[in-house]
Amino acid sequence: ITAARASLLARVFDAYAPLVAEADAGDLIERTGWLAVYEKRDPLTGEAFEFEMRRRFGVEMTMLSGDEAREMEPALGPIASSAVYYPRNGRTVNPLRLTQVFARHFVRSGGVLLRETARAISIGGDGRPRVVTDAGEHAADRLVLAAGVWSKSIAGGLGSRIPLEAERGYHTMMPDPGVTVRRPLAFADRGVAIAPMEHGLRVSGIAEFAHADAAPDYRHADRVLGNACDLIPGLKTDGATRWMGCRPATPDSLPVIGRSPRHSAVLFAFGHGHLGLTFAAVTGQLIAEMAAGRPTSVDISPFRAD
């Protein structure tokens, strides 16, 4: 599983580079690395297996004391006893705006966006797939199913039973946090992540297994925010807003990428869990290669629906 995920991770920046350049989205990407912070234990003791796997697959990391971590991030409070710095990681400062910039580039390049609700995929008598929406049907030579957690029911209609569930996450955005955070922080002991965005500070966490359409339980977001306030003294929450989203999670943490086992004109691209944005560009690259009948640049056999 780790080897398969690493084969995608190794191509993340190369896959994004042409999209970022063509869409003129360079201001939305930063390579600041990220900092994993620990409170009560030596990370090598509690996560020895994880660190060994990262080293095996070439992940660069630096062990830091609590004081060294505070030199990098002065906003950290005294509760931080040690940290691990991952210098090669990158991020976007606004995932929504990045998506909007890409969408505008798609339209400028001749693409068409249809704002309809997809209900199912049907296969016509001519063998061509059709998207059934609330506004009618759209036939295509090839069709990509990339509907996140809602892909499960649509794939099921094509005869593919995919173990996909909503792993819901919560975040709180603070427009004026009152502290400066220079790079993403992860507080391993509490499962809390903090990321500086162009429009404020984002605090996120939680893995809640619930129906995708169930009402949000914002007590989870409040608990995450309370932990963040313990870790970063002086954090201001005035004007904060909360959000919940559904990660499309598979039991083995591998996405579903490849052709429908029963209908070769339908391509599956979903189930990326916590790494949807991370794997988006490389997944698009692989889907494009398959659609064009070319060999894929990554072995996709671990990601087959069957």
Q: Yes or no: say if 132 and 158 are a contact pair by the CB < 8 Å rule.
A: no
Query: What pLDDT tens digit does each residue of the chain (306 aa) get?
Result: 999 999 999 999 999 999 999 999 999 999 999 999 999 767 777 778 889 999 999 999 999 999 999 999 999 999 999 999 999 999 999 999 999 999 999 999 999 999 999 999 999 888 899 999 999 999 999 999 999 999 999 999 999 999 999 999 999 999 999 999 999 999 988 899 999 999 999 999 999 999 999 999 999 999 999 999 999 999 999 999 999 999 999 999 999 999 999 999 999 999 999 999 999 999 999 999 999 999 999 999 999 999
Per-residue pLDDT, 189:
86
The DSSP string of the chain is -HHHHHHHHTTHHHHHHHHHHHTT-GGGEE---EEEEESSS-HHHHSHHHHHHHHHTT---EEEEHHHHHHH-TT--TT--EEEEETT--EES-HHHHHHHHHHHHHHTT-------EEEEEE-TTS-EEEEETTEEEE-SSEEE--GGGHHHHHHTTT-----EEEEEEEEEES--SS---S-EEETTTTEEEEEETTEEEEEEEEEE--TTSPP-THHHHHHHHHHHHHSTT---TT-EEEEEEEEE-TTS--EEEE-SS-TTEEEEE--GGGHHHHHHHHHHHHHHHHTTPPPSS--GGG---
Best CA proximity match to 37, nearest among 8, 70, 12:
70
Residues 271 and 248: beta-carbon distance below 8 Å? yes
Residue 237 in contact with residue 229, Cβ under 8 Å? yes
Instruction: Check if the beta carbon of residue 276 is closer than 8 Å to that of residue 6.
Output: no
What's residue 188's pLDDT? 86
Taking residue 293's Cβ as centre, other Cβ atoms within 10 Å add up to: 6
